[in-house]
A and B are shown apart, each in its own frame.
Chain A
Amino acid sequence: MPTYNEKVMEYFMNPRNVGELPDADGTGTVGNPVCGDLMTFTIKVENNRLKDIKFKTFGCGAAIAVSSMVTELARGMTIEEAMKLTNKQVAEKLGGLPKNKLHCSNLGADALHKAIENYLSDKKDVAVVERKATKEDKEGQEGCKCPYCDSELQNDIPFCVKCNRKIDK
């Protein structure tokens, strides 16, 4: 088992904001069961701020702690601030994660951003905040590999781009 620090353990043992908002303004899901991590975030927006945010996560201790931390950090932020939240910041707030668990933290902020993008896509009058993946995001993102040929898997593609085998998601 990886050695998680006390803060990660605390957020894993007592996760904040677990659940699903019934009348959510936006929903975002990232990850896939092949890799063992799946996160769904729901958000409620009021006056351009994240009034409420909840998560549901299928995954390891790190994935749960990261989700929990993201909801806590993002609550109360403006949409623009929340879109600027990086996975690296989340990992730092948790006092660091084991190296082979960094890809879990890379899912957390992405799920939040997806939920926000989902919210914005319904609001044509608000300019969509573009966010490009930074180099930091990509660090440690290696992790989910094709079970057949070992090459890197890409989220959202239902087959392995290298060996062409179907990946059940």
Chain B
Amino acid sequence: MKKVYFDHNATTPVLPGVIEAMQVYLREEFGNPSSQHDYGEKPGEAIEQARARVAAMIGSNPGELIFTSCGSESNNLAIKGAALANKTKGNHIIISAIEHFSVINSAKALKKLGFEVTRVPVDRYGIVNPDEVRKAITDKTILVSIMHANGVIGVIEPIAEISRILKDKNIIFHTDAVQTAGTIKTDVNELGVDMLSIAGSQFYGPKGTGALYVRKGIRILPLIDGGVQEGGRRAGTENVPAIAGLGRAAELAVKEMDKRAVHMKKLKDKLQKGIFDSVPEVILNGHPDRRLPGVLNVSVKYIEGESMLMLLNMQGIALSSGSACTSKALKASHVHLAIGLKHEDAHGSLLFSLGIDNKEEDVDYLIEALPPIVEKLRKMSPIYNKEK
């Protein structure tokens, strides 16, 4: 059976060059970078080389990067670490309504410790209005965290504009760039952020890798205490093979970013047109232009996402949905509800996230497979008839 992977926002495949870069640190060079003897030398160098490569990708100094175990850890370290280290200055945090759960739930955890959290809304495209951030600021505000791009609807947020509002206000600005770093140009100085989260699993690196950029001078409290690894801000023996893989993935991302974006956008546009031409009553979620090159999110009216995913999966096509039935919490995606979608339309959403391994024939295959599936499920749907 033909297999098509349209779920790159869940995770990307690992590039052969990345695997190759990792192997030596799983085999011969297994040493602990903190060791003073020869075994520690090469692994130590590998970490610093990876740090330089990731720094080059986001335009920072290598010394401003902390390696973590994933995007979620980076977000936890940023939010909790900065809030706890700066609590004498204030206790108010601002995040957006469509953040990743690692940001939302970090903020929730801080609430239990006495912090106050404001969630600024987004418009119907999923975009944060910088004025809403301005209005939410109080003299107690110490931290603002707004994602660079949303992984569910692909919309890119006005980070640089928000950063101008926060300038000279002594408020730390963090952005979750897990969906952008390594995919589109993500430069910490152009964006004007103090902290930025990265995950290797989103740009053809290994899972279990992440990094947090922390601008020099920003104080954070570590989540993991122990030795002096990562400048004492993230203790624990480094995952050397994974970090080496992350570095290699960053290097390749910088080299191929433009080419990759052109490829994905071309396929995404074809996919979008193909779906809208062949399936009636589909809604585009997110902004039509201000979006990641490979992300398409649509709601197919009157039917539910999990049934669509199951029938597509039977034909070898893998993707995601914002339906309650596909989430373990049995709730519709908060992102879809935040942009004002009706619950039934949120349940009928499909998330296509394309990658460099996708081909034009994958898109053709999907466009052929989807319409009969939609028709079959609509025939079964009690809300399809009622609204006709």
Which residues of A line the B interface, CB within 8 A? 1, 12-13, 15, 18-20, 29, 33-40, 56-64, 100, 103, 143-145, 147, 168
Cβ of A134 to closest chain B Cβ, rounded Å: 23
Task: For the complex, give the distance between the alpha carbons of A105 and B380 in Å.
Answer: 17
Select the residue from A18, A29, A36 with max chain B CB neighbours within 10 A. A36
Residue in B closest to A15 when the chains form the complex, CB atoms: B380
Q: Are B329 and A59 in contact (CB under 8 A)?
A: no
Q: Which residues of B contact A35 (CB under 8 A)?
A: 324, 330
Q: Which residues of A contact B302 (CB under 8 A)?
A: 58
Q: Are A58 and B330 in contact (CB under 8 A)?
A: no
Select the residue from A18, A61, A103 with max chain B CB neighbours within 10 A. A61
Task: For the complex, give the distance between the alpha carbons of A59 and B323 in Å.
Answer: 10
User: Size band of the B side of the interface?
Assistant: 20 to 34
Chain B, 212-241, CB within 8 A of any chain A CB? none
Q: Does B306 contact A (CB under 8 A)?
A: yes
Q: Are B314 and A145 in contact (CB under 8 A)?
A: no
Which residues of B line the A interface, CB within 8 A? 302-304, 306-307, 309-311, 313-314, 323-326, 328-332, 334, 337, 342-344, 347, 379-385
The one of A19, A60, A103, A144 that contacts B307, using a Cβ cutoff of 8 Å: A60
Q: Offer 8 A-B interface pairs, CB within 8 angstroms, sorted by A.
A: A13-B311, A20-B385, A36-B332, A40-B382, A58-B381, A58-B384, A103-B330, A147-B331
Residue in B closest to A33 when the chains form the complex, CB atoms: B344
Q: Are B382 and A29 in contact (CB under 8 A)?
A: yes
Residue in B closest to A56 when the chains form the complex, CB atoms: B382
Residue in B closest to A58 when the chains form the complex, CB atoms: B381
Residue in B closest to A169 when the chains form the complex, CB atoms: B343
Q: Are A36 and B307 in contact (CB under 8 A)?
A: no
Q: Which residues of B contact A18 (CB under 8 A)?
A: 379-380
Cβ of B381 to closest chain A Cβ, rounded Å: 5
Cβ of A106 to closest chain B Cβ, rounded Å: 13
Q: Which residues of A contact B385 (CB under 8 A)?
A: 20, 56
Q: Which residues of A contact B337 (CB under 8 A)?
A: 147
Q: Which residues of B contact A144 (CB under 8 A)?
A: 324, 330
Q: Which residues of A contact B331 (CB under 8 A)?
A: 145, 147
Q: Which residues of B contact A19 (CB under 8 A)?
A: 379
Q: Are B306 and A100 in contact (CB under 8 A)?
A: no
Q: Are B314 and A36 in contact (CB under 8 A)?
A: no
Task: For the complex, give the distance between the alpha carbons of A34 and B326 in Å.
Answer: 14
Residue in B closest to A144 when the chains form the complex, CB atoms: B330
